[in-house]
Amino acid sequence: MGARQKILYNIRKAEIVQDSELFKKLTDEIWEFRTLWRNVHYRLFAFWDKEEGKVVVVTHGVVKKTSKIPAKELKRAIEIRNEYFRGKKEQKHEML
């Protein structure tokens, strides 16, 4: 099993079980999906789209090298989230 397989395994596990070791809230909107593989910390930044049901949208991932989340990565996740919902709003408006 490699890192990619471990991340996919954890995603499937999170669909079934709530595990605070896997999914951690960083801000009101952004969550961190966590995987540890061979002493390397992989992080996927994500948010919920409750309009679509229980959908988690992953913005991007990083290899975590320090104990703190880099501010630029958190900012990037927030910007991607805002762009996602802006695009959804525009699509709804175009359909009307």
Domain assignments of the chain as residue spans, ordered by start: 3-95
Across 66-82, b (16+ Cβ under 10 Å) vs e yields eeebeeebbebbbebbe
Mean pLDDT is lowest, of 42-46, 51-55, 60-64, 86-90, for 51-55
Which pLDDT band, with edges at 50, 70 and 90, does 50 fall under?
confident
Size (the chain), residues? 96
Q: What average pLDDT does range 2-30 have in this prediction?
A: 92
Percent of the chain's residues with pLDDT above 70:
98
**Rounded to whole angstroms, what are the CA distances from 91 to 25, 49, 54, 55?**
29, 15, 20, 18
Largest CA distance in the chain: 51
Residue 75, both tokens: 């900012």
Mean pLDDT is lowest, of 27-31, 49-53, 70-74, 85-89, for 49-53
Residue 87, both tokens: 């695009």
Residue 80, both tokens: 């991607």
Tell me what the pLDDT averaged over the chain comes to.
91
